[in-house]
Amino acid sequence: MFGGLELSEAKMAKLRVLFFLVSLVVWATKVDVPVFAQVQTTDKKAQDMAGIEKLRQQDIAATLSRDPVALTDLWTDDAVRLSPGQPAEVGKQAIRESNERWSARPGFKVLSYVPETRDLACGRGQTRGARPTWPPSRSSTSRT
């Protein structure tokens, strides 16, 4: 008996199958959402890593060419470049002027440039993790 009505065996079997299918769809939906979200996160990370690698290659090409415009275009308008023993260069224009001064030095050549990427974490005004070294260990410059 179901809701005061008698149901035949065939109708009961159909209801069991329907209940099973609905339960299966609900379960599959709950399982697929986190898996799908994880795939999107993985894809986003891969896109981010590809973008970082593209910027790295642009930096290498601009450095080796000593093109002050190409070197400046890698920075944002509100950038701050810090160099050991030098005042901070604040803004894209200040960075470009510095790049132009370096590029104009007679006999200055960049023989090789292999940037070294390290993990660095900042929080509450303190820096944790590996710190960049200066001069970079695999970078060579020459003045003739």
Q: What is the mean pLDDT of the chain?
A: 75
Q: What is the pLDDT of residue 6?
A: 60
When pLDDT is cut at 50, 70 and 90, the band that residue 78 belongs to is very high
Name the residue among 90, 85, 84, 98 with its Cα closest to residue 134. 84
CA distance 69 to 55: 15
Q: Is 19 exposed, middle or buried (0-12, 13-18, 19+ CB in 10 A)?
A: exposed
Model confidence at 113, pLDDT cuts 50, 70, 90, reads confident
The band of 139, judged by pLDDT with boundaries at 50, 70 and 90, is very low
- 65/27: higher pLDDT: 65
Q: What angle is formed at CA 103 by the lines to CA 99 and CA 108, rounded to 5 degrees? A: 135
The per-residue pLDDT for range 6-27, each reduced to its tens digit, is 657 777 777 787 777 777 676 6
* Winning range, highest mean pLDDT, from 35-44, 114-123, 125-134: 114-123
pLDDT digits over 36-64, tens only? Answer: 555 566 788 889 889 989 988 998 998 88
pTM over 0.75: no
Residue 94 pLDDT > 50, yes or no? yes
pLDDT at position 31 over 80: no
